[in-house]
Amino acid sequence: MHHTCSKHPDREGVHYCAKYNRYLCEECLACQDPTLYCKHRQMCMIWELVKQRKHDAKNGTRATSN
């Protein structure tokens, strides 16, 4: 099933936000509620991806995709 980004209807939504029930493209990938909700939910893939990207940027590394 193909999903579209909630902010860019012409783009594929590849990441799902369970809290807000919406899909996001790579450009929109950002946690909307990191301090109150998602920070404490390890099952939230968006929060985990954002956290990893921040860590990689800080350390000058890039995440590899499988």
Structure confidence at residue 62 (pLDDT): 64
**Tokens representing 13?**
């939504």
Given CA atoms 63, 57, 45, 42 in this order, what sign does their dihedral have? positive
Question: What does pTM read for this prediction?
Answer: 0.64
Structure confidence at residue 14 (pLDDT): 92
* Ranges of residues in the chain whose predicted pLDDT is under 70: 34-42, 62-66
Which residue has 């919406």 as its token pair? Answer: 22
pLDDT in tens, 38-51: 666 667 788 888 88
